[in-house]
Copies of this chain bind each other. A is one copy, B any other.
Amino acid sequence: MTPTPPDMLCFALHSTAHAVHAAYAPLLQPLGLTYPQYLVLMSLGAQDDRTVGQLGTELRLDTNTMTPLLKRMEKAGWVRRGRNPQDERQVRLSLTDDGRALTERAASVPRAFAERTGFQVSELADMRDILLSLRDRLKPAKS
Contact = CB atoms under 8 A, between A and B. Distances in A.
Interface in A66-101: none
A110 interface: yes
Interface residues of A, number: 59
A112 B93 CA distance: 40
A43 B14 CA distance: 15
Given A2-B45, A2-B46, A135 B8 contact: no
Interface string A20-31: 111110100000
Interface of A: 2-24, 26, 35, 39, 42-43, 45-47, 58-60, 103-104, 107, 110, 113-114, 116-119, 124-125, 127-132, 134-135, 137-139, 141, 143
